[in-house]
Amino acid sequence: MPNRVKRVVPPSAIRFLKSILFLSVFISVHPWFLNPAFAAPQTWTGIDVLEAQDFAPLKGKRIGLITNQTGVDRNGRSTIDLLAHAPGVKLVALFSPEHGIRGVLDERVSSTTDAATGLPVYSLYGETERPTDAMLLGLDALVFDIQDAGVRFYTYITTMGYTMEAAASHHLAYFVLDRPDPLGGERIEGPMLDRDLTSFTAYFPMPVRMGMTLGEMAKMFNVEKKIGCVLHVIRMQNWPRSEYFDQTGLPWVNPSPNLRSSEAGILYPGLEILQAGGVSVGRGTDKPLERLGAPWIRAEEFAEALNRRAIPGARFEPDRFTPDSGLYKGELCQGARVMVTNRAAFQSMRMGMEIASTLAQLYPGKFDAAKMIALAGNATTIERLKNGDAPTAIIASWDKDLAAFRRTRAKYLLYDNK
């Protein structure tokens, strides 16, 4: 018989085979390894944390819940339902902000009754914007659970402030079930609010984009405005400040009828300030807050002029649309679609200033920058826009005020980037 050749397996091949075997066992034990949804820990909002605590902070209390359709846990369960069935907790009343308890109305909202629970739903965007004595009768605490937009003029911030004031005057505990700033918690943008311009769309002197969660703002309001309520913030878990909403793993729920995606939310601060000046920002179309236009704009000319400005992280395409509601209802509008090409470089308020400047130059007498004051909230900024100052110079003029705000803000931050 011929001699058999003894084959020797190289050590490198043995190590490779062992690695493959280990990896296959690891994946079988941990199937989440290849699931991109688990690439980073999912954020737990305040309601998720409260559930994990078996609602202990609220036990023995009769509570009023300030919420809307965004008040859901990470599995999509309604905060209303969760608190209505929480052991040892007595849910007595509901309070709804602008757009109503289901977030679908673009008008003043009447108080009503919740069909599922039979509880009264007191509107804080109807005959009153503040809870009355009768609405608070018999309560021990107010609980706030609403997703914000990360923008100063979004009225849910004011509703929180007004209800904190009511809690203080009625000696009620106040709980904020915290949620992410959907624009991330690092960057601040825009002019500071003039102190004489506070309103329902401007509760506290802040820049347009403040980079804070509602829980952090509640702490700041309580101290800086000397509200003095007994405040409890149920903190989130697994939310690094750098994360935008679409990085949290949480379900997106439209916070208002026209804010329909995380992408629109990023554009929202800079686009929304323009509407009062006489342009549609896409309300009444399939892409609200992702486009702008007016009957007097010429689409190609406008988009080309904006692209020549080389606004960091943004690109503009000619657009035409006919809104079926809102400004210019039923009229053909020309304008531009806005695309964010680089989120890290993009500054929404820089974009807004550049668009306002372009409109004033191309269509004098058509766009009225003076009317932007209600949301921009800073008279000097508006005056400089009217005078034709360069947007970059206007933005640079905010630096001193933003640095001062950043120092104040730092005292109330609850989260870092770990």
Mean pLDDT, the chain, integer: 92
Q: How far is CA 296 from CA 282, 308, 363, 367, 370, in A?
A: 15, 20, 8, 10, 18
Angle at 71 between CA 68 and CA 73, to 5 degrees: 160
Give the pLDDT of residue 13. Answer: 55
- Chain-centroid distance of CA 168 in Å reads 26
pLDDT digits (tens, 9 = 90+) for 295-318: 999 999 999 999 999 999 999 999
Confidence band, pLDDT 50/70/90 cuts, at residue 58: very high
Number of helical H runs and strand E runs in the chain: 13, 10
pLDDT digits (tens, 9 = 90+) for 163-219: 999 999 999 999 999 999 999 999 999 999 999 999 999 999 999 999 999 999 999
Inter-axis angle of helices 348-362 and 379-386, nearest 10: 40
Q: Which amino acid is at 187?
A: R
Give the pLDDT of residue 12. Answer: 57
Which token pair is 109? 């909202």
Give the CATH fold of the 46-253 domain. Rossmann fold (3.40.50)
Q: How many residues are there in the chain?
A: 418
Give the pLDDT of residue 198. Answer: 97
Which string of b and e fits 8-46 if b means at least 16 CB within 10 Å? eeeeeeeeeeeeeeeeeeeeeeeeeeeeeeeeeeebbbb
Q: How far is CA 226 from CA 49, 147, 213, 348, in A?
A: 28, 24, 19, 32
- Asked if residue 20 has pLDDT above 90, the reply is no
CB-based contact 146:66 (threshold 8 Å): yes
Asked, colleague to colleague, whether 46-253 and 262-387 share their fold, the answer is: no
- Asked if residue 23 has pLDDT above 70, the reply is no
CB-based contact 233:215 (threshold 8 Å): yes
List the single range of 38-47, 288-297, 356-365 with lowest mean pLDDT.
38-47
Look-up of token digits 């806005």: 338
Residues 101-106: what's their mean pLDDT?
A: 86
CB-based contact 208:228 (threshold 8 Å): no
- Give the dihedral of Cα atoms 190, 196, 201, 203; nearest 10 deg: 90
List the single range of 104-113, 172-181, 367-376 with lowest mean pLDDT.
104-113
Which token pair is 370? 């003076």
Task: Among 1.10.10.10, 3.90.1150.140, 3.40.50.1110, 3.40.190.10, name the CATH number for the domain at 262-387.
Answer: 3.90.1150.140
Question: Is residue 111 left, alpha or beta, with left meaning phi > 0 and alpha meaning psi from -120 to 50?
Answer: beta
Say which residues have a Cβ less than 8 Å from residue 368's Cβ, sequence separation at least 6: 277, 278
Q: Which tops the pLDDT comparison, 7 or 201?
A: 201
Domain boundaries, given as residue ranges, for the chain: 46-253, 262-387
- Asked if residue 16 has pLDDT above 50, the reply is yes
Look up the pTM and report it. Answer: 0.89
Pick the closest to residue 280 from 265, 258, 262 (CA basis).
258
Confidence band, pLDDT 50/70/90 cuts, at residue 1: very low
pLDDT digits (tens, 9 = 90+) for 25-46: 333 434 333 433 334 589 999 9
- Asked if residue 22 has pLDDT above 80, the reply is no
Q: Which amino acid is at 368?
A: D
Give the pLDDT of residue 190. Answer: 98
- Asked if residue 106 has pLDDT above 90, the reply is no
Give the pLDDT of residue 31. Answer: 39
Give the pLDDT of residue 28. Answer: 40
Q: Which tops the pLDDT comparison, 105 or 228?
A: 228
